[in-house]
Structure 1
Amino acid sequence: MSAGESSSIAPPTGQAASSEAAPVPSARHLAARRRRARLSLLLPLAALVVPLALLGVGAWLSWRSVWEDATLQLSRTADAGAEYAARVLEAQALAVARINERLRGLSDAAIQGDERRWHDELKTLVDELPQADLAYVIDRNAQPLVASNVFPVRREMVLADRDYFAMLSSPNPPEIYVSRPFVGRWERQLLFSVGRVRRETGNAEVAAGAFDGLIILSIRPDVLAEGMRRLLGPGGDVLALVREDGYILSRTSGQDGILPPIPPGRPFHEVVASGVASATYSAASVVGGAQALNAARRVEGFPVYAVSLRLDSAIAAHWRRTIASHMIFGLPATLMLLLLALRVRRDQLRLDAINAGLESDVERNADRLDRAARFGLVATFEIDLRTGINRRSAEYMALQGGPRSAGEERHADWVRRLHPDDRERAERTFLDSVSDASGVTEYSQSYRIVTPDGGTRWIAARGEIERDAEGRALVMRGAHVDVTPLRSTEQALAESDARLRLAQEAAGIGTWEWSPAARQITWSRKMIELWGFDPEAGQPDLAATVARLHPADRGRVRREMVMAQRSGVFRSEFRIRRPAPDGETETIWITARARRLPFYGGPKGGAEAQLMGVAYDVTERKLAEEQTALLAHEVEHRAKNALAVVSGLLRVTTAESPEAFIQIMEGRVQALARTMTLLGQYRWRGALLKELIQHELAPFGETRIAMSGPGLMLGSEVAQPLSMALHEMTTNAAKYGALSVPGGRLEVSWWTEGEMVHLIWRETGGPRVEGPPHRQSFGTQLIRQTFENRLGGQMWQRWEPGGLVCEVSFELGGVA
């Protein structure tokens, strides 16, 4: 063999030596080793400095933790206090409303005339409420009408100087008012009151809607404080109820008299002004002036806050106790750490030599790991764009539905797996990205593939394109991620949203969103149609929306929207006036509901409060409620009249025996019941004369009875007495007249003439009649009194041999 051939097949000398010897550290690695050796000398020093620093940091973190725990505990106490106060105040408010309901329609004179009764009722009500101390009903001149704690009440006392009287007698009084603390004039006890204006009084001299007195329930702060003390944990915290103007209603630490209000400018007033439901702040105590941490929570539905506080000195004392326990263990641990540091330095020098060899491997893989970290790879690929070779990882091949083993593919293999609907788009996106002319260095798209078993998967592809100095694409490295579950979820959400919109539109429910910060309202198409706007014209502006509110409801709806921004809940029923199909204006009732939800992406960035809700037409329900109330009133009125008639019948009916009395009364009451049934069928508007006669004569069959006359609807005031008269006439015919024998017949005819209704009752085929009876029975008297007195008509009777002929008439003015 020649030297040239030998040299051509033997490896270079330097290369062979390199393969046999251990890796030679680079200059950079040697410098790093020397630097670590110097740093190891600092380890013992750090073992002393670091623990002390950690103790300092621990003390600082403990300081923060103590304050955070105190804030959390105070917030929970304030929340519990607000909930407790809400229950108490709501109970007082309901009791005041109950008193107003009991006094509805009563004048001041009526109340004073029955003062003992009302005094007893108020005293019973106060005894039922644990926190209530006394109750007053006060007239519009600030003089008490009745009280729960004294009888008779001292009328000379004038309560016009009380703040609750001034507030509730103002032009726009609140629905419920919580007063400032005051000292009672009789018992000289510290109190505050919950009151409201009297509504629907019986004082005729007072105009409708004008102030006509008020009702108050007074509460003892010390009794209320007893309940609040049960909400406090150990530690000397204080819980108080404070009005929005700073007056302290009750405090768990006790109060001998009226406490000074929180001065203006204090953080509490800033919390109230901001309108937030809860907040924490640091402020000086009103009593004593010591600095304290405060947590305030608004009582739902009332202008009152529950405020809990803890002195700063108490929090600092707790921190000192906590940090002392840390020091007991921290100093011995520092000594142990120093010993450990000396041992670690020895081990570190030994491991440094081993680490030097590993650093070379780490450096070689750093680039690959960096790319994996940036892309979050699930299945990686690398494409040599000059040769067309595609290198796939094992995860990539498994994702495509093949065996889990790395391999190489061609571009056509990838195209063949693309879903037919996505193939052209996905390939065009890929080719455009790797073209030399595009200059693109980042590749991204999503598409579907078809796996060998026929399944479909959504793939999110991301990659980085490496180019040379002239911009030619050389290599693409990237990753594939299976996003099939995400796509399925997105599709399911879209379908669910479509079904929800369809259901809302089918049910006539409109949706809306209100952004207070931007003063912008957004409606669904159904909401726009509900308010009578044109959906094709886009979103209506706020001014047009407010203009369609009924003038009587406009101010209330505005106030409820303002309250909803604070409470986060909006519930209201109101009227709107919208264009009708015939061009006129119609009024409908709408029910609206909404809740406050955070909204991200507003014009100011971050999260903004936004009301989101629904609205729907409840006009039919409102009309039904009004009709039901009217019908109930009518039923009540008719029932009272019926009872009065029955009562009168009981007084005047006579009979030879109890059995006969029962039989007579049953017949008359049944006649009255049948009339009531007919009136009910026509919703108490009246009853047909023909049906009244048919109901009375139905037991005798159609062959013996003949009726003729026009359809005539009688008003309820005429139908009831007329049915009683017809019953008595039928009873007489069945006992003594034509209906008492099988061959007897009865003809009833009627007609109208001018303002009168005429009716003829003709009996034939009965027992022979010799003349009028020697005396008139009660039934006959009842018939005559009915027609001549109650119906304003007349009655004539002829006793013909074939039977009785009775002709009656009554005024048409009683006809509906």
Structure 2
Amino acid sequence: MEAAKVSKRDVSAVYAVDLSQRPVPQGDAAREKAALLQLARRMHDAPAEMLPRFVELAMELTGGISAGISLLEETEPSPVFRWHHLKGILSPFNGATTPRDFSPCGITLDRSAPTLTIHPERVYDWIPPGLFLPEVLLVPLYIGRTEPLGTLWIVADRIEHFHCGHAATMQELAGFIGIALKMVRSEQELQQALEQQELLTREMGHRLKNLFTIVDGMVRISARSTDNKDDLVALLSGRLRALAAAHSLVRPSFSDAQGAASSLAELLSIVIEPHEPPAIAGKRRLSIGGPPVLCSGKSVNGLALVFHELATNAAKYGALCNDTGRVDVVWQIDDDDLGITWSEDGGTQIPSPTAPKGFGSTLVEATVIRQFGGTLSYDWRPTGLSVNIVVPLSRLVR
């Protein structure tokens, strides 16, 4: 029977029984309590292992022919119940799903009370053909009193099998199942937190190793290119500040040696803007702009050092060393490449350099060409230096 053709009367008919009207036969309440308490004591050590035993106990205490737990999952496009720990005639359907809004489980959660359904296979078309389900007793499962988890259900082989005594006992059992499920969830969350902490520790160790390698190289090369300790301190101090600024952008990602992606615009703002002189007549002298580009934690440090060197040279010798010059940094994406143009205007005219390359120039070239597999070109214009950098986008995100 298709869900769209099922009338409200058809659905209501399978829930028309009032359990309180059925007589409760003489039972062994002490035995039932003892069985529940025995499982409760064992639940502390292995709650996940007790869930199948709770289902078996539900069958034993009610005389059912099948039982299981249906847990609610918030899936798209609509939530479903998934069957777990099935016992008896329905055990082959372990792991199957049923709709949240068209099922006895959904009605049980909506009512927030034990529910009895008679021959649900006559109404719900998702029940496999050939199944004969005279009665199904369902009780809701909760964490605490508010968070719905799903239902515990038991199938009987005849009509008028279940009574309110069964419902009361299953409600007690459902309380233990809810506690066990909460304990299982807490264990899973703790395990995930421990795994994430381990990955974070490994990631931070990898980052520190990379930073020490970079700093060691800077100290060695800078020492060879300076004449006294004051120049060495000044040279290293700026580069270390650039590294620190870049490192502040690298957020934990819980993955090997990779930080969460950072915006290129954010990186340039943090690294370059400290070099900008005070604005004149309210006009800023440094601008950046381009489409959104994300850079991996591994590439952030290299980019920070490159643009720190360019900004430092502009402030010492180029467009930012006087009151009139300005710097524009723009970038664009061309197929699989990122092109960045550093353009100075209005600064001191600098002839094309003929002296040997210093550490800064060597660092920029090595980073762009060796680390990123890109190209680098300088244009010493009369109006100011222009630097064109092209790198593959794939090298920035890995």
TM-score scaled by structure 2?
0.53
Equivalent residues of 1:580, 1:586 under 8 A apart: no
Distance in 1 (CA, whole Å) between partners of 2:60 and 2:233 is 74
User: What is the rounded CA distance, in whole Å, between the counterparts of 1:754 and 1:586 in structure 2?
Assistant: 49
What is the one-letter code of the residue matched to 2:242? A
2:199, 2:227 → 1: CA distance?
Answer: 44
Gaps of 5+ in 1: 1-511, 549-575, 588-611
1:704 aligns with 285
User: 1-side partners of 2:288 and 2:71: how far apart?
Assistant: 53
SS, match of residue 707 in structure 1: strand
Aligned residue for 2:103? none
One-letter amino acid of the structure 2 residue matched with residue 632 of structure 1: T
Distance across 1 between alignment mates of 2:336 and 2:59: 58
CA deviations on 1:203-228 (whole Å, 9 max, x unpaired) are xxxxxxxxxxxxxxxxxxxxxxxxxx
1:795–1:806 Cα contact (<8 Å) kept: yes
Is structure 2 residue 194 aligned with structure 1 residue 625?
A: yes
State the partner residue of 1:803.
Answer: 384
Question: After superposition, what is the alpha-carbon deviation per residue over 1:292-329, rounded to whole angstroms, capped at 9, x for unaligned?
Answer: xxxxxxxxxxxxxxxxxxxxxxxxxxxxxxxxxxxxxx
Give 1:698 shift: 2.1
Superposition pairs of residues 505-520 of structure 1, within 5 angstroms:
513-515=36-38
Counterpart selection for 2:329 from 744, 748, 751: 748
1:651 aligned partner: 220
- Out of 264, 269, 273, the residue aligned to residue 694 of structure 1 is 269
Match runs of 1:375-390 below 5 Å: none
1:583 matched to 2:76? The reply is no
CA distance in 1, matches of 2:251, 2:300: 12
Indicate how the Cα distance of structure 1 residues 514 and 689 shifts in structure 2: closer, same or farther if over 3 A, else same. same
Percent of aligned pairs with the same residue?
26
What SS does the corresponding residue of 2:268 show, helix, strand or coil?
helix
Matched-pair contact (CA < 8 Å) for 1:668–1:727: yes
Q: For residue 815 of structure 1, give the secondary structure of its aligned residue in structure 2.
A: helix
What's the CA shift string for 1:117-165, capped at 9, x where partnerless? xxxxxxxxxxxxxxxxxxxxxxxxxxxxxxxxxxxxxxxxxxxxxxxxx
Structure with the bigger RCO (C-alpha within 8 Å, sep 6+) is: 2
Q: Distance in 1 between matches of 2:262 and 2:83?
A: 34
Partner of 1:641: 210
Pair 1:784–1:621, CA change in 2 (3 A) = same
Amino acid at match of 1:718: S
Q: CA deviation at 1:767?
A: 0.6
User: How far apart, in 2, do the equivalents of 1:780 and 1:713 lie?
Assistant: 25
Residues in 1 aligned to 2:53 and 2:71: alpha-carbon distance in whole angstroms: 8
Partners of 1:740 and 1:630 in 2: CA distance: 45
What residue number does 2:247 align with? Answer: 676
For 1:534 and 1:514, how far apart are their aligned partners in 2?
Answer: 11
1:598-623 CA distance string (max 9 Å, x none) = xxxxxxxxxxxxxx996433133332
Q: What is the Cα deviation at residue 538 of structure 1?
A: 9.3
> Could you give the per-residue CA deviations for residues 571-593 of structure 1, whole angstroms, max 9, x where no partner exists?
xxxxx995635337599xxxxxx
Question: Take 1:677 and 1:586, find their aligned partners in 2: how far apart are those partners?
Answer: 46
Q: Distance in 1 between matches of 2:305 and 2:83?
A: 46
TM-score of the two chains, using structure 1 as the length reference: 0.27
C-alpha spacing 1:685/1:515, structure 2 compared with 1 (3 Å): same
Contact 2:200–2:253, Cα closer than 8 Å, also in 1: no
Aligned counterparts, 1:470-619, within 5 A:
513-515=36-38, 539=58, 580-581=73-74, 582-583=79-80, 615=180, 616=182, 617-618=185-186, 619=188
Is structure 2 residue 233 aligned with structure 1 residue 662? yes
> Which residue matches 2:342?
761
The 5 A counterparts of 1:262-411 are none
Partners of 1:744 and 1:540 lie apart in 2 by 85
Q: Structure 1 residues 623, 781: closer, same or farther in 2, change over 3 A? A: same
Question: Which of residues 725, 733, 758 is equivalent to 2:314?
Answer: 733
| RMSD of aligned residue pairs (Cα, Å) | 3.9
**Residues 634-690 of structure 1: CA deviation (Å, up to 9, x unaligned):** 111111111111111111112121011011111111111111110027772132111
Q: Distance in 2 between matches of 1:804 and 1:638?
A: 34
Match of 1:720 among 268, 277, 301: 301
- Deviations along 1:351-380, whole A, 9 cap, x unmatched? xxxxxxxxxxxxxxxxxxxxxxxxxxxxxx
* Contact 1:704–1:746 under 8 Å retained in 2: yes
Residue 813 (str. 1) matches residue 384 (str. 2): no
Asked if structure 1 preserves the Cα contact closer than 8 Å seen for 2:374 and 2:391, the reply is yes
Alignment check: 8 A CA contact 1:531 1:578 kept? no
> What SS is found at the alignment partner of 2:350?
coil
Note the alpha carbon deviations across 1:753-801, whole angstroms, 9 max, x for none: 1111100000011112233343322101111111111110000100001
The alpha-carbon deviation at position 719 of structure 1 amounts to 1.4
Q: Is the 8 A contact 1:579 1:586 kept in 2?
A: no
Q: Indicate conservation of the 8 Å contact 2:338/2:391, yes or no.
A: yes
